[in-house]
Structure 1
Amino acid sequence: MDIRESQLPAGVHGRVRTTLLGYLSLTKPRVIELLLVTTIPAMLLAHRGTVDPLLILNTLVGGLLAAAGANTLNCVADADIDKKMKRTERRPLARDIVPRSHALVFGLALSVASFFWLWWTTNMLSAHLAAATIAFYVLVYTLLLKRRTTQNVVWGGAAGCMPVMIGWSAVTGTIQWPALVMFLIIFFWTPPHTWALAMRYKEDYAAAGVPMLPVVATERQVTKQILVYTWLTVAATLALALATGWLYASVAILAGAWFLVMAHQLYGGVRRGEPVKPLRLFLQSNNYLAVVFLALAIDSVLALPTLFTV
């Protein structure tokens, strides 16, 4: 037997595996983790401790499809700049693993599927919120804001806040004030989280022509903005305590103090001219958000007495 023929199946298998992983990578699975961290607690708070597990599953599936579709379309739109940035140069479209036209069809298919899935399994409001999120993320943030303003992640970050709205509406069929407060928590959390990462990779953004705040402002200006938004984040988490029990309130206070200490340390280090590690704040901000929303989920499941009647 010809050796090359015997090796063909393995080669084909490798190419298929690479292509499938490429399509998976387009959806940015690690970014989708935010969906899981925030959607389930929002649903549990909406109807404290008595949410149908099947409804949670269906909402997560619809949300996953929506996030995957939006992220894929984002990769299509950003294919040119992804090739210029070291942080993103290994993405599938930057390496030509997946044809751009195929990725576009894939992203649109996921987006359409998310709308009909949520419409079928939850309600029309949730479906429309998911569709609006995709449109905002791709058309407003990616195509309009990202390459034109330093406030790109401030306003564009609104798309990442929508999973809590979708989760709440899936349970209640409405949008009420606790959902809006959860929206604000993530809205205010996004700038310090993203700018800390951008401080570490500002040369990448500069090379790609993306005017992220750390590219056009001094480190002192950036860290001051990070500090302001961190305070707003913590304030929003404390406002949500009016709709929760003592467990969430306690964790929100302790975690908020920890988050503020990190932000003040970063700002103080820059003011003193000391070497700083902004990536530490970026990584720990993920832990902060996870801890706060985990406490919210447990508090809601236990149906602890609320500090305010929702």
Structure 2
Amino acid sequence: MTDINACQAAPEAEFNDYIALLKPRVMSLVVFTAFVGLWVAPVDVHPFLAFCSVLFIALGGGASGALNMWYDSDIDAVMRRTQSRPIPAGRVQRGEALAVGLALAGLSVMMLGLVANWFAALFLAFTIFFYAVVYTIWLKRWTPQNIVIGGAAGAFPPMIGWACATGGVSIESLLMFALIFFWTPPHFWALALFMRDDYKEAGVPMLTVTHGRPVTRRHIFAYTLVLAPFSLWLGFTSVGGALYLAVAVVLNAAFVRGGWQILRRSEEAARADDFAVEKRVFKLSLTYLFLHFLALLGQNWLGAW
């Protein structure tokens, strides 16, 4: 009788729950950066093939999200911002998430190879492996450098998009990778500053947990300084130009300023205003990356004219 009642009480999975497994907000960034990488490449791609390529890259990103949720369901159940996800909420079983992730991974890689090229497909397969195994299973629970090294997974999509069009890599795609790679640590560490207790309770060795907030503040500022030259360097390649450089200068000035403000903050001041500056810089970091890639699209459009 108890088992019957438990089954009756368990919430039923809806279609939206399986969509949530794919981390659609993260996938939107994957789709956008991959699309930009493909679009600005110096090779004309048929619009239908371009659409299919980006679609299958998106499915690969969704596969990574499902595999991440499968493995991290114990952590998600502890952290406040992730407790409502489908697995910890009991709407989707772990085995279902694993099956969805593996199925989408295989489908996305196979189809990308057929519609684009096998170099891009293997690149996508490596990216899924890197995020699901290297980052999620290994780095995330082992080292405070989890975000630094694991951030490569989120930086690969524009390179994959570029590879769909060209069949290879170039200085332009490497710099798009570097832009996201060096952006990732200050972006996530700004979040970790005001989410430190959640990470600590979940046993995730974020830098704020292992080394404290003062050290994290110094790292954030240092990474904004390292990031800026790569951002500007991209403006002097074949995909850059005056428009992109103007946007990059403004955004980097704002981001470095935000990093400096975080660096100068005391714990007392941060707690007094509920980490208002840290939250503002975190939101700024989202705008920073989006506008950089939007500027690349705008520059490409101007170049076409």
Question: TM-score, normalization: structure 2?
Answer: 0.90
Name the SS for the 1:251 alignment partner.
helix
What are the equivalent positions in structure 2 for 1:217-296 lying under 5 Å apart?
Answer: 217-243=211-237, 244-270=240-266, 274-275=269-270, 276-277=275-276, 278-296=278-296
* 1:118, distance to aligned residue in structure 2 (A): 0.4
1:282 and 1:55 map into 2 onto residues whose CA distance is 35
Name the SS for the 2:80 alignment partner.
coil
2:14 corresponds to: 19
Matched, 1:29 2:24: yes
* 1:231, distance to aligned residue in structure 2 (A): 1.4
1:234 and 1:53 map into 2 onto residues whose CA distance is 33
2:49 and 2:219 map into 1 onto residues whose CA distance is 39
1:12 corresponds to: none
* 1:245, distance to aligned residue in structure 2 (A): 1.5
* 1:267, distance to aligned residue in structure 2 (A): 1.2
1:202 and 1:195 map into 2 onto residues whose CA distance is 9
Q: Is the 8 A contact 1:72 1:103 kept in 2?
A: yes
Which AA in structure 2 matches 1:296?
L
2:55 corresponds to: 61
Corresponding residue to 2:92 among 90, 98, 111: 98
Q: Is the 8 A contact 1:83 1:94 kept in 2?
A: yes
Which consecutive aligned stretches of 4+ in structure 1 deviate over 4 angstroms post-superposition? none
- With 215-224 and 116-125 compared, the bigger mean Cα shift is at 215-224
Corresponding residue to 1:154 among 148, 158, 162: 148
C-alpha deviations, 1:139-183, integer Å up to 9, x for none? 111111100100000001100011011000001011111111110
* 1:110, distance to aligned residue in structure 2 (A): 0.6
* 1:95, distance to aligned residue in structure 2 (A): 1.1
* 1:300, distance to aligned residue in structure 2 (A): 1.2
* 1:221, distance to aligned residue in structure 2 (A): 1.0
Segments of structure 2 that go 5 or more residues without pairing to the other structure are 1-10
Q: Is the 8 A contact 1:111 1:131 kept in 2?
A: yes
1:36 and 1:135 map into 2 onto residues whose CA distance is 18
Describe the shift of the 1:125–1:26 C-alpha distance in structure 2 as closer, same or farther (beyond 3 A). Answer: same
Name the SS for the 2:235 alignment partner.
helix
C-alpha deviations, 1:11-52, integer Å up to 9, x for none? xxxx76x4211111111101112113312222222127x543
Segments of structure 1 that go 5 or more residues without pairing to the other structure are 1-14, 306-310
Name the SS for the 1:71 alignment partner.
helix
1:156 and 1:128 map into 2 onto residues whose CA distance is 18
Which AA in structure 2 matches 1:260?
V
Which AA in structure 2 matches 1:43?
L
Q: Is the 8 A contact 1:32 1:67 kept in 2?
A: yes
2:266 and 2:197 map into 1 onto residues whose CA distance is 18
* 1:218, distance to aligned residue in structure 2 (A): 2.5
Corresponding residue to 1:39 among 34, 42, 45: 34
- With 34-43 and 155-164 compared, the bigger mean Cα shift is at 34-43
Q: Is the 8 A contact 1:82 1:91 kept in 2?
A: yes
C-alpha deviations, 1:27-80, integer Å up to 9, x for none? 1101112113312222222127x5432232112111111000010000000011
What are the equivalent positions in structure 2 for 1:106-255 lying under 5 Å apart?
Answer: 106-243=100-237, 244-255=240-251
1:75 corresponds to: 69
2:38 and 2:99 map into 1 onto residues whose CA distance is 31
Name the SS for the 1:242 alignment partner.
coil
* 1:304, distance to aligned residue in structure 2 (A): 6.6
Task: State the aligned residue count.
Answer: 289
